[in-house]
Amino acid sequence: MSLFKDTLRSDQSLFMNELALDYDFLPKLLPYRETQQHYLASCIKPLLANRNGRNVFIHGASGIGKTAAVRFVLRDLEEETDEVHAFYVNCWQKNTSYKIIIDICEQLGYRLTHNKKTEELFEIVKGIVNKKCAVFCFDEIDKVEDLDFLYSFLEHIFKKTIILITNHKEWIDELDNRIRSRLLPEVVEFKAYTEKETQGILKIRAEYAFVPNVWSEDAFALVCTNTTALCDIRAGLFLLRQSGLCAEEKSSKRILPDHAKTAIERLGSFTTKRAEDINLEEDSSLILSIIKEQGKQKIGDIFKTYMGRGGNAVYKTFQRRIRKLADSNLITLEKITGGAEGTTSIISYNDAEKKLTEF
Ligand SMILES: Nc1ncnc2c1ncn2[C@@H]1O[C@H](COP(=O)(O)OP(=O)(O)OP(=O)(O)O)[C@@H](O)[C@H]1O
Ligand SMILES: [Mg+2]
C-alpha cells in the first residue's frame, strides 16, 4: 500500500502563483474602481502643485476594494513623485495615537523613537513632513481608541490630504466639532460590486493564481454566484483557493463543481476580516462570552451585565468593542429604529454552524 500514490507531484500543482489569492495582494489593475481612484487622485493633485490637498472620508461594506483602491493610488503617487510623503496606517492594528506616530516614524525611516513620548515624536514627524507635503491614509479609522493624532495632523501639517476609511458611515457623525470643522472631508461611498463585476475580478485573479484551464466553467460559476451573494471579494478569494486545495487533495487535475461545493461548505469558518487581526483584547473576550451566553439582547442590557461583571470601559469604548466583534463576524448587530427607546441595537452571537446554512 502507498498512502501517497495518488498525490499530485509539485510540478502538477494546480496553482501557478498562490500568493495572488492573499487578501493583501495588490493586483496590477483594479478594474471597476477607476472612478474612485481618479477622484482620490484629484483630491491629492493640488499637493503636486505645492498647494493644500482635500481630505476624503471613504465608507462602504467589507471586501469591496476600499483599501485596495487607496493603496493603488498611493503606489502610483510614490512612483510619480518624491515630493509627497505617502503614509498608510491600519488603525485596527495601530489603535492609539502613540502606536500610530511610531508607525509613521518607521515609515519615515526614523528609528530613534525609544523613550520618547507621543508629543515629542509628533514634533519630530512634523519637522520632517512639513518640508514637503503628505498624504495620510488611516484605514479602519473607527477602531482607534483616541483621535489626538488626527487633531495634531489636521492642525500642524500644512499641506496634506487625509484619507479615512471605515465600514461605518455613521462614524463621522460622532466626531467632535474640533476635528470635524478642520477635516471637512469629501465623502466617497464604495458600493458592492455587481455580479458581472465580481465575475470579472475573480476571473483575473484566477488567471494570475492558477495554471491555465484547470477550472471547469460550472465550478467557477458556483464560486462567482456565492461571492456575489456575500458581496465580498475576500470570500471569493477564499473560495478560489479552497476549491483548488480541495481538487489537489482529491488528486484531480481539474477543479470541478464538487470541489467548489466543498469550498463553499468551508466558508463556515471564513471570517470577513483577516483572522490574524482579530486578536481579541481581554475585555472583548468578556463581552463576547456575555453575548454567547445570553442570546439575542439589546446593547444596553449587555452593557449592564458587562458592568456587573467588572467591565470598566465607558459606553463609547464598549460600543467600539461591539463594532469590532461585529466586523470580525463574531456577532451580528441589528439596528432597530423607532421603538420605545428610540434607536437601539440588538446583538446576537454568530456561530460557524449557523452561518453554513445561510448559503
Ligand atoms: N476591483 C478589484 N479588482 C481586483 N481585486 C479587487 C478589487 N476589489 C477588491 N479586490 C480584492 O478584494 C480583496 C478585498 O479588498 P479590500 O481589502 O480593498 O476590501 P475593503 O473594502 O478594504 O474591505 P474591509 O472593509 O473589510 O477592509 C483584496 O484582496 C483586493 O485586492
Ligand atoms: Mg480594508
Backbone angles phi, psi at 210, to 5 degrees: -115, 155
For residue 31, which ligand has an atom nearest its CA? 1
Q: 271 in ligand 1 pocket by Cβ < 6 Å?
A: no
Q: What pLDDT sits at residue 132?
A: 95
- Fold adopted by 10-18+193-269: Helicase, Ruva Protein; domain 3 (1.10.8)
Q: Which of the listed CATH numbers 3.10.20.600, 3.80.10.10, 3.30.420.40, 3.40.50.300 matches domain 34-190?
A: 3.40.50.300
Alpha helices for 215-340 (secondary structure H)? 217-230, 233-249, 257-266, 275-278, 282-294, 299-308, 315-327
Predicted TM-score (pTM) above 0.85: no
> Per CATH, which fold does 275-356 belong to?
Arc Repressor Mutant, subunit A (1.10.10)
Which atom belonging to ligand 1 lies closest to the Cα atom of 61? 25
Q: What is the pLDDT along the chain (359 residues), one digit of tens a residue?
A: 566 565 566 667 999 999 999 888 888 778 999 999 999 999 999 999 999 999 999 999 999 999 999 999 999 999 999 999 999 999 988 999 999 999 999 999 999 999 999 999 999 999 999 999 999 999 999 999 899 999 999 999 999 999 999 999 989 988 999 999 999 999 999 999 999 999 999 999 999 999 999 999 999 999 999 999 989 999 999 999 999 999 999 999 999 999 999 999 888 766 555 444 445 667 788 899 899 888 889 999 999 999 888 888 888 888 888 888 888 888 998 888 766 667 788 999 887 544 433 43
- Ligand 1 mutation pick, 28, 67, 202, 227, max ligand atoms within 8 A of CB: 67
Q: What integer pLDDT is reported at residue 293 of this predicted model?
A: 87
Ligand 1 near 62 CB (within 6 A) = yes
C-alpha triplet 350, 354, 357: angle, nearest 5°: 140
At 286 the pLDDT is 87
The domain segmentation of the chain, as residue ranges, is 10-18+193-269, 34-190, 275-356
Please give the pLDDT value at position 343. Answer: 77
Site to substitute for ligand 1 among 234, 270, 324, 329, most atoms within 8 A of C-beta: 234
CB of 66 sitting under 6 A from ligand 1:
yes
Of ligand 1's atoms, which has the minimum distance to the CA of residue 33?
1
Distance of CA 226 to the CA centre of its chain: 20
Residues 272, 239: Cα–Cα separation, whole Å: 12
Which pLDDT score, from 0 to 100, does residue 4 have? 55
DSSP string computed for 90-149:
ETTTS-SHHHHHHHHHHHHT----TT--HHHHHHHHHHHHTTSEEEEEEETGGG-S--HH
Integer CA distances (angstroms), 121 to 101, 135, 270, in order? 7, 18, 39
User: Whose CA is closest to atom 16 on ligand 1?
Assistant: 65
Q: Which amino acid is at 206?
A: A
